[in-house]
């Protein structure tokens, strides 16, 4: 006789339980396709390596500021953080 492994409950960040019904709903949504024009950009940086001389800080930007930085990133092919640091240096001058 096979022993069934007890299923562990999974919860989303919102606290909602991830059920088979929710899974089916999310799969159906993905198969229909996403409207990426409504997506929000979330920039996450990697943690600094031990001994790194530059501390990491959290920075809140408005949607307009994020859009402006993202346009420069795409136009210049530079990392998001590099563009933000350059803009900060300009305001410090």
Domain ranges of the chain: 37-92
CB 69 within 8 A of CB 87: yes
What is the DSSP-derived secondary structure letter of residue 38? Answer: G
Per-position pLDDT tens, the chain of length 93: 556 666 788 888 888 899 989 999 989 988 888 776 777 766 666 666 777 766 667 777 888 888 888 999 999 999 888 888 888 888 776
Buried b / exposed e over 78-93, threshold 16 CB at 10 Å, is: eeeeebbeeeeeeeee
* Structure-block tokens of residue 57: 């800080």
Distance between CA atoms of residues 83 and 51, nearest Å: 24
């Amino acid at each position: 006789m096979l022993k069934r492994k007890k299923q562990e409950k999974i919860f989303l960040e919102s606290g909602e339980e991830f059920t088979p019904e929710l899974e089916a709903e999310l799969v159906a949504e993905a198969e229909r396709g996403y409207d990426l024009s409504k997506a929000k950009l979330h920039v996450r940086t990697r943690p600094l390596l031990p001994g790194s001389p530059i501390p990491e800080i959290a920075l809140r930007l408005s949607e307009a500021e994020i859009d402006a930085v993202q346009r420069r990133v795409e136009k210049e092919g530079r990392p998001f953080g590099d563009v933000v640091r350059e803009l900060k240096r300009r305001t410090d001058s």
